[in-house]
Structure 1
Amino acid sequence: MSTVDTTSTAPTPPALPDGRPAAAAWSLDPAFRHLNHGSFGAVPLLAQEEQNRLRRRMDASPVEWFPELPGRVAAARTEIARFLRVAPGDLALVPNASAGASVVFAGAAARPGGEIVVTDHGYGAVTMGAERLARRWGGRVRTARVPLDADADTAYEHVVGELGEATGLLVIDHITSPTARWMPVERIAAEAARRGIPVLVDGAHVPGLAESPLDGLSCDFWVGNLHKFGCAPRGTAALVARTGLRDDLHPLIDSWGAPEPFPARFDTQGTVDATSYLAAPTALGFIEDTWGWDTARTYLRELADYAERIVAEAFSELTGRDCRVDVGMPVGALRLVRLPEPLATTHAEADALRDRVLRELGVATAVTSFGGVGYLRLSTHLYNTPADFEDFAERCVPALGAWSRDR
């Protein structure tokens, strides 16, 4: 039943070409264990330095910089499109996946009484945007409830079962944030398209974890963060739109690029600091040139296998119950482990526990809640080592057990 690979052994951590550990390429504070790359990412020093160089150039001659900025953004957009294996003309740059979703909601045609279908695994901020759009339509949001252990067929049936004549938009996660699972978006989007229902796929965690995330996926809109597993500077995300509905997409702030077609009108955003966009190719290229993305994904998966096993075993031994989690379509670099009851039964409690773990135990991690159950969401990247998770299992699991008994 469990997704845990019980045969997993500790993988060998990657090193830099000069022999130093991979973590030396990042500026993460060594006083903490950083086990939550999936929330906010971490930017390699090389990309930080490139962004700082670009900022100095911007501040040295603003009148020269800003008229040239749209061309620079377009060039970065082309490189990012190559990384995602999509056409540059189908991709606009936005600050984050939620901003991309907001662009889609703002550009949606009026649909009086229309319904929007989401899932109970959706990212809260995006679901809130869908609810706001539904109120504008005078309609409602329908929530497809997908069991955590649902396989691809079952997940498909639960989502498609909520589609109907009134459905004006489907919002579906590619990788779910609170539950660390894939959704069968290719099949779901194909069925929605057959029914003439527009589809927004929230792929916030996908860039870097999938080699060609949009291959075989026919959707109207797709958003993905480059600053998570892609390690780009924060505030860098892609909005991919490949159908005629993209003609109604506009930046959330009007600027002089407004008359341009999609995606060029997104390249001009006045005096915003777009250096995160411009430095993103440096971050993506650093991973590729140093280790290769295929090698990186393999290490992230193998380390997640190991981390999931040892942390789940530690919690199980402590609590006397199986703390492994049966996730129907697990993600290579993101895994769930069940927390002792009654920890993190709500979103607010999960955030509070995350903050306490950081403050008192010196570990940055992710805590999520789904269906009234609290989970530790393990996340791996190249700077992580087996020792990070061994320390968590040995030192933090007992503390969390004690906290659960104090409730």
Structure 2
Amino acid sequence: MRLSQHPSDWAASFAAGPGYLSACTAGLPSDATVDAMQAFVARWAGGGLDARQLSRDAEEARSLYARIAGVPSDRVALGTQVSQLVSVVASGLPDGAEVLCAAGDFASLTHPFEQLRHRGVAVRYAPVAELADAIGPRTALVAFSLVQSASGEVADADAIRDAAAQAGARTLVDLTQSLGWLPRGAKGFDFTVCHAYKWLCAPRGTAFLTVRTGLEETLHPLAAGWYSADDVWSSCYAGHTPLAAGAGRFDLSPVWPVIGGTVAALRECLDRDPAAVHAHATGLAAAARARLGLPEALPGRESAIVTWADPEGSDLAALTAAGVTASGRAGNARIAFHLWNTEEDVDLVGRTLR
């Protein structure tokens, strides 16, 4: 049954009251997600842990994420951290390749490529707004976050993708700061990564990689284990360790305590109208920008994240003292609006800072 699309009903599903403006740091669990995680602990404590059921739950998480991201489920790999999954993509780069990244992007996306200097891999940076124009004939891969963590800037993904295709470069897009409020998934990109604990409101410990059909053979399963097969229960021991036919070959064994909570969160995400979520989050963010006297977002590039210069941290300190959970990144104060936020949060920020 589809959940109510009224924002006040969404807020009622989360225990936190007004003032939590930090989905860009960590999302909040809904009541259903909390119940799922507590149920796991109770079963575990009572000796009822069922590893095969947990494996089925992991497969449901894969399937749910695939639907959210808009790709077939065999294109999705399960992991625990974005950097681990980016490292898999990095394994497919030839010696001497150039990787183009967005300046100031999150380290989990860029760091794995920096560690390939011994193979002659060069990492070059350009502002995300100039990334499409910065792609050159030597560029093998363009890696960028669809929404920048430090600034909330939304990348012109179509322009970057088209320029990369023209240059023969592949694309790797981090959806961690976008998927869950921005209705743009993995389709059309060669690789994407996403940790589900921010805007998808899942517990920390479940991340996803998508691989375009045919590209799995260009990558190496750096941490292959018993969960890297299509039938995981027949590949537990040495002597029979086949790789999955699709992206599942890059799987890591799921983190058992959080997989049930991840399934609950992804189910709820699918039950909400993505356009309604986007309108709610960006509408509150636009109202906050107006209250703070900040420029409007570019049409079509509206963001749920609002940032402004706060080099001394005085605005962040004032927000914290007023009971607002916000964050500071790269000299900016940063607030974010998601399912549990209402106009009351906009008013609270406005009264505190203006």
Give, in angstroms, the shift of residue 260 of structure 1: 2.2
2:341 alignment partner AA: N
CA shift for structure 1 position 179: 1.8
1:265 aligns with 2:246: no
Q: Are 1:118 and 2:79 an aligned pair?
A: no
8 Å contact from structure 1 (residues 26, 44) kept in 2: yes
Whether 2:205 is the aligned partner of 1:235: answer yes
Equivalents in 2 of 1:68, 1:239: separation in Å? 23
> Aligned residue for 2:35?
49
How does 1:28-67 map onto structure 2 within 5 Å? 28=16, 30=17, 33-61=19-47, 65-67=50-52
1:61 Cα deviation from its structure 2 partner:
4.3
| Mapping for residues 298-309 of structure 1, pairs under 5 Å | 298-309=279-290
Could you list the runs of 5+ residues in structure 2 that have no partner in the other structure? 1-5, 229-241
1:330 aligns to what?
Answer: 301
TM-score of the two chains, using structure 2 as the length reference: 0.82
The one-letter code sitting in structure 2 at the alignment partner of 1:73 is A
8 Å CA contact 2:88–2:219 kept in 1: the answer is yes
**For 1:228, what is the secondary structure of its paired residue?**
coil
Answer yes or no: is the 8 Å Cα contact 1:160–1:191 preserved in 2: yes
Return the alpha-carbon distance in structure 1 between the equivalents of residues 257 and 44 of structure 2.
9
2: CA distance between counterparts of 1:243 and 1:68?
Answer: 29
* 1:257 to 1:383, Cα distance in 2 relative to 1, 3 A: closer
1:312-348 CA-partner distances (Å, limit 9, x unpaired) = 2xxxxxxxxxx43666863342233x33xxx32xxxx
2:7 is the alignment partner of 1:14: yes
Pairs aligned (count): 336
Residue number in structure 2 paired with 1:318: none
Find the residue that maps to 1:37 and give its secondary structure.
Answer: coil
What is the CA–CA distance in structure 1 between the aligned matches of 2:319 and 2:34, rounded to whole Å? 24
Which residue in the other structure is 1:9 paired with?
A: none
Query: Which of residues 78, 87, 92 in structure 2 aligns to 1:102?
Result: 87
- Shift of residue 129, structure 1, vs aligned partner: 2.2
Q: CA deviation at 1:48?
A: 1.4
* Matched AA of 2:118: R
List gaps (5 residues or longer) in structure 1: 1-12, 17-21, 147-154, 313-322, 399-407
CA distance in 1: counterparts of 2:100 and 2:250, whole angstroms: 27
| Shift in Å, 1:42 | 0.9
State the AA in 2 paired with 1:33.
G
Q: In structure 2, do the counterparts of structure 1 residues 328 and 225 end up closer, same or farther at CA, with 3 Å as the change threshold? A: farther
The whole-number CA distance in structure 1 between the counterparts of 2:328 and 2:97 is: 34
User: Does the alignment pair 1:143 with 2:125?
Assistant: yes
What is the identity, as a one-letter code, of the residue corresponding to 2:301?
Answer: P
**Post-superposition offset of 1:305:** 1.5
After superposition, the C-alpha distances for 1:17-71 in whole angstroms (9 at most, x for unaligned) are: xxxxx4442232x4x7211112211111211111221343345447x62355433
Q: 1:184 offset after TM fit, Å? A: 1.9
Identity between Structure 1 and Structure 2 (%): 25
Q: How far apart, in 2, do the equivalents of 1:90 and 1:251 lie?
A: 14
1:170 is aligned to 142
- Distance, in Å, in 2 between the alignment partners of 1:70 and 1:82 is 19
- Rounded to whole Å, the distance in 1 between the matches of 2:321 and 2:88 is 39
Instruction: Give the structure 1 partner of residue 179 of structure 2.
Output: 207
1-structure distance, mates of 2:348, 2:99? 44
- 3-state SS in 1 of match to 2:186: coil
1:80 is displaced (CA, Å) by 1.9
Counterpart residue number, 1:315? none
**CA contact 1:206–1:225 (8 Å) conserved in 2:** no
Please report the TM-score for the alignment, with normalisation by the length of structure 1. 0.72
CA distance in 1, matches of 2:97, 2:318: 43
Secondary structure of the 1:179 match is: coil
